[in-house]
Amino acid sequence: MAPSQHAIKSITPILADKFLFVRIETDTGIVGYGEAGIWSQTHVALSVIERFTDYLVGKNAFDIEHHWNALHRFSYFQGLAINSGISAVDIALWDIKGKALGVPIFELLGGACRTKARVYPHVRGKTLDAILQDARWKVKQGFTAVGHLNPFLDEDKDTVYFKTYAGKMRDAIENVRKVREAVGPDVDIALELHRRLSPTEAITFCDGVKEYFPLFIEDPIRPENPGAMARVAKKIMLPIATGERLCTLYEFHALFEQEALEYARVDPALCGGITGMKKVAALAEAYHIQLVPHNPLSPIGLAACLQVVAAIPNFLIQEYTTALDAESHNEISEHVGANIVDYVPLPEGGFVDIPNRPGLGINLLDDAPTISAPVVLPIKVRKHHDGFIVDQ
């Protein structure tokens, strides 16, 4: 058992909606929550969390850095599923420590650099008209930036795809022009390409949209090869944001060294939790790189982002994942998963207050799985006219 109080008594993975949470309770009755960021493979990460129970039960919940290293180092193998499990546990342990000491997590990370965070909502649509309508509506809600904007459109995966190179580039560039026209000259637009392009296409596209001043170009190509991303970055006049699929500090370091990005899209639910995100932020600061934290998940993941954002100097803007209305399927300004937690910071003038209650400042409701039953996402890809797969 732990030599002091706050020994870990139980670890419980919880599935709700498309989310995977972990609930950790100490022998003193303090409960902490974390979230795993591998949303399409939650069953795998759930098994990882259950595996960690053998090591963690009975240990001191306060020894976060020690546990973080133990879970990373005990085996030869890591990867996205394992590291997302580590991330969920780490976030929950920080939540426990903050609650036990009666302070928000950012106070344990050096104190607040800021009390608010600028945010951008998701703008989505299968047609350009739907995207333009949603973008205008989000601006009317007071947001000063809009994001998750895919100028290549998120069309139905049942639709077979083909466009010529000229048509693909022309249509997407024109779509960006129309978005800029819709939101006005002063609203920032964050373009999310979701690895849709080849390096050649990415260079051409970025050259074509630079006059519309996008805030950044996110994942223009598949992110596995830092050298390829750097090749694109050095040939365009727009900043690249990437990193949402990375799960270690060392992967980010490779991107930083090769000058492959300007904005690091670190996800605390995937890249080692609060501990991992703080390490990436410190490394990024040395390269004058700012963070645009990634969170397509619930308000628990948002809270983890905001607690670190409060305590670092090199922050640009936070993703705020707005939801779809269950009946109309239209975008709304409410954060996805808001119905399964006890609090969500609401945007005002394009900013949210950083939670200052003890720990994360946000708790999962006990009946979350009943409110939003677990969802298993199907394995489905879009086909090209030639029979191969389209990244989308």
pLDDT tens digit sequence for 4-44? 589 999 999 999 999 999 999 999 999 999 999 998 889 99
User: Confidence band (pLDDT; 50, 70, 90) for 269?
Assistant: very high
Question: What was the pLDDT predicted at 124?
Answer: 84
Does the pLDDT value for residue 2 go beyond 60?
Answer: no
Residue 195 burial (C-beta neighbours within 10 Å; 0-12, 13-18, 19+): middle
**51, 71, 102 - which closes a domain:** 102
For residues 128 and 93, membership in a common domain is answered with no
CA distance to 48, 86, 138, 151, per residue, from 79 (Å): 11, 10, 36, 31
Secondary structure of residue 345 in the 3-state scheme? coil
SS3 readout for 193-249: CCCCCCHHHHHHHHHHHHHHCCCEEECCCCCCCHHHHHHHHCCCCCCEEECCCCCCH
For residues 305 and 322, membership in a common domain is answered with yes
Secondary structure of residue 109 in the 3-state scheme? coil
For residues 129 and 268, membership in a common domain is answered with yes
Note whether residue 193 is domain-resident.
Answer: yes
**102, 124, 156 - which closes a domain:** 102
The tokens describing 97, both together, are 């420590």
Does the pLDDT value for residue 73 go beyond 50?
Answer: yes
Note whether residue 305 is domain-resident.
Answer: yes
Question: What was the pLDDT predicted at 317?
Answer: 98
DSSP string, 111-159: --S-SEEEEEEB---SSHHHHHHHHHHHHHTT-SEEEEE-TT----TTS
For residues 125 and 61, membership in a common domain is answered with no
Does the pLDDT value for residue 137 go beyond 60?
Answer: yes
Task: Quote the crossing angle between the two packed helices 273-286 and 299-309, to the nearest 10°.
Answer: 40
Domain region containing 94: 7-102
For residues 192 and 73, membership in a common domain is answered with no
Does the pLDDT value for residue 325 go beyond 60?
Answer: no
What percent of the chain is predicted at pLDDT more than 90? 89
Question: What was the pLDDT predicted at 181?
Answer: 98
For residues 88 and 199, membership in a common domain is answered with no
Look up residue 241 and give its amino acid: A
Write the pLDDT tens digit of every residue in 335-360. Answer: 999 999 999 999 999 999 999 999 99
Using the CB atoms, write b or e for 98-129: b if 16+ within 10 Å: bbbeebbbbbbbeeeebebbbbbbbbbbeebe
Question: What was the pLDDT predicted at 86?
Answer: 98
Give the active site residues. 194, 294
Write the pLDDT tens digit of every residue in 46-68. Answer: 999 999 999 999 999 999 999 99
Element (H, E) at 290: strand 290-291
Residue 372 sits at the vertex; the CA angle it makes with 370 and 373, to the nearest 5 degrees, is 70
Does the pLDDT value for residue 3 go beyond 60?
Answer: no
Rg (CA), the chain: 21
Question: What was the pLDDT predicted at 330?
Answer: 55
For residues 171 and 39, membership in a common domain is answered with no
The tokens describing 80, both together, are 């996205």
Secondary structure of residue 56 in the 3-state scheme? helix
Strand order in the sheet with 351-353: 318-320, 116-121, 351-353
Note whether residue 158 is domain-resident.
Answer: yes
Identify which of 363, 331, 382, 355 has the alpha carbon closest to the alpha carbon of residue 146.
331
Question: What was the pLDDT predicted at 40?
Answer: 82
The tokens describing 10, both together, are 């139980």
**How many structural domains comprise the chain?**
2
The tokens describing 230, both together, are 């750097």
Write the pLDDT tens digit of every residue in 276-306. Answer: 999 999 999 999 999 999 999 999 999 999 9
For residues 334 and 209, membership in a common domain is answered with yes
For residues 151 and 283, membership in a common domain is answered with yes
Give me the chain's average pLDDT, please: 94
| Domain at 41, CATH number | 3.30.390.10
For residues 83 and 137, membership in a common domain is answered with no
Write the pLDDT tens digit of every residue in 181-202. Answer: 999 999 999 999 999 999 999 9
Secondary structure of residue 72 in the 3-state scheme? helix
Does the pLDDT value for residue 326 go beyond 50?
Answer: no
| Domain at 366, CATH number | 3.20.20.120
Note whether residue 318 is domain-resident.
Answer: yes
The tokens describing 45, both together, are 């990460």
Does the pLDDT value for residue 246 go beyond 60?
Answer: yes
For residues 244 and 139, membership in a common domain is answered with yes
For residues 36 and 132, membership in a common domain is answered with no
Note whether residue 218 is domain-resident.
Answer: yes
